[in-house]
Structure 1
Amino acid sequence: MLKYLLHLIWPSACPVCGAIGEDLCPSCCSELIVPSGPVCLLCEGSLPCPTHGNLEWYSAAPHGGMARELVLSLKYQGNGAIGLEMGIQMASVFPKPEHAAIIPVPLHRGSPRKYNQARWIVAGISKVWGFPIVDKLRWNKTLSCQTSLDGSGRTEMPENALRWDGPCLNGREAVIVDDVKTTGTTLYRAYRALGEARPDRVRFITWSRSVVEKKGGISFGT
């Protein structure tokens, strides 16, 4: 009854099943998850990667269908409750670190949005795992919105595009979180920015993994 009363004031319905009074049903979100990882962030090979080292990446679902629609709703309609539930379900399927700082990839400078969708996903992960959110990655200069760039444009991102303005992470694992991985360049730049923070270990988590064309066939997110 409370859900129906709240729906009259703040109308909401699950985008998957249409249930009234639900921003996103936990069961609906869970059913979308087809987890991948751990694999190498840059080449998606097995770990430890002989070429790239131990860049450990996990993703919850392929970037298509309803999994993609959730990202669009989160990013362009500002539905933070969807992001929170996505993060909760992600934390329930990926291995929990022993001691970690959870770090969202920051919103690009110059973005027209006033909110960071990755921050809402991180909030859900933090709620389940109980580790603090350390939102201290910063862009060094204004960059074009990444959604407007093709794969080559993304990989040309400057090496020092991001910097770390937070505390030393010695003794903790750094868990870097974003909504979607396409080429992995932004996540890798975040990893490089954490050098002076000296985390014991770094892993990457994204909600979805993009399907992109490459020579020899199709690959997820490379």
Structure 2
Amino acid sequence: MGLLAELIDLVLPSSCICCQRSGPLWCAACRPASVPELAATATGPAVCAAGEYDAELRSALIAYKERGHRALAEPLSAYLSDAVDVLSRQAGTAATGRPRPVLVPVPSRRSAARQRGGDHVLRLARLVARQSQLPLCSTLSVSSGVADSAGLSTAARAANLAHRMRAARPPGRGPLDAVIVDDIVTTGTTLAEAERALTEAGWRVLGAAVVGATRRRYPAAAAGASGASDGARKQSAAAGTNACNWADPHEWASV
């Protein structure tokens, strides 16, 4: 299904998913400004969202995630890259002399990934890794039996995910800094569980970066939290393989 949708996007004339005008799948006029800000969550890591999960950004994420429009991966990854950039600067990684933070995508459930033609967050994370020149490690996994969280209350989400994620220890010696990446944050439960799994495995979690945050979670009143990147939308190469190749530090697989 995912491959077929991708081929359709490339071959057939398209119209904007928001304004319906013929042309790009998501026209420039319908793309909201990327203004990364810290999003407030009750639990879990600090979160930086590139925008509010509403209007045009919501339409693009749904079209990409649920309707198989993979051509939207590149523009959406630019938003995620902005959030990663701001979060990294807030954490002061460049000033500390520590190794560059590692992007760790939140994994999709296997059944969801099959229905969507692949892991949609991993696809975005690969593009961000190339744009930001940061390493990527898909070390998180989620156990079977986790239900779709759509429609669940905060308490039900927490119970659904409690201790269901696992992470391998970071490669090499000593802890590594991790930036968790995901598409959307609502209650923060998924990110909190990812942080728990990574911390228990020996990672040092700097925070999480997401494309969009729901209105009730965005933005937080945090001094100096906002600030978009230079706005450059770098063209990225197609996503590569998920092979663990130490000769290429920009992409690690599950370790």
Instruction: Tell me if the contact between 1:34 and 1:62 (Cα under 8 Å) persists in the aligned partners.
Output: no
152, 165, 174: which one aligns with 2:178? 174
4, 12, 15: which one aligns with 1:10? 12
Q: TM-score by structure 1 length?
A: 0.74
Q: Would the alpha carbon gap of residues 66 and 8 (structure 1) be closer, same or farther in structure 2, given more than 3 Å must change?
A: closer
Structure 2 CA distance, aligned partners of 1:197 and 1:27?
Answer: 44
The answer to which structure, 1 or 2, has the higher relative contact order (CA under 8 A, 6+ apart) is 2
Please, which runs of 5 or more residues in structure 2 have no aligned partner? 1-7, 95-99, 221-255
1:102 is aligned to: 103
Give yes or no for the alignment of 1:189 onto 2:193: yes
Identity %: 22
1:162 is aligned to: 165
More strand by share: 1
2:72 is aligned to: 82
2:202 is aligned to: 198
Taking the TM superposition and a 5 Å limit, the aligned residue runs for 1:39-188 are 41-42=41-42, 55-92=45-82, 94-95=85-86, 96=88, 98=94, 99-111=100-112, 112-165=115-168, 167-168=170-171, 170=174, 172-188=176-192
Instruction: Tell me if the contact between 2:103 and 2:181 (Cα under 8 Å) persists in the aligned partners.
Output: yes
Instruction: Tell me if the contact between 2:25 and 2:72 (Cα under 8 Å) persists in the aligned partners.
Output: yes
- What is the root-mean-square deviation of aligned Cα atoms in Å? 3.1
Please, which runs of 5 or more residues in structure 1 have no aligned partner? 1-5, 44-51, 213-218
- Matched residue pairs, number? 199
Q: CA deviation at 1:165?
A: 3.6
Structure 2 CA distance, aligned partners of 1:136 and 1:130?
Answer: 18
1:211 is aligned to: 215
Structure 1 CA distance, aligned partners of 2:16 and 2:10?
Answer: 15
Q: Secondary structure at the match of 2:147?
A: coil
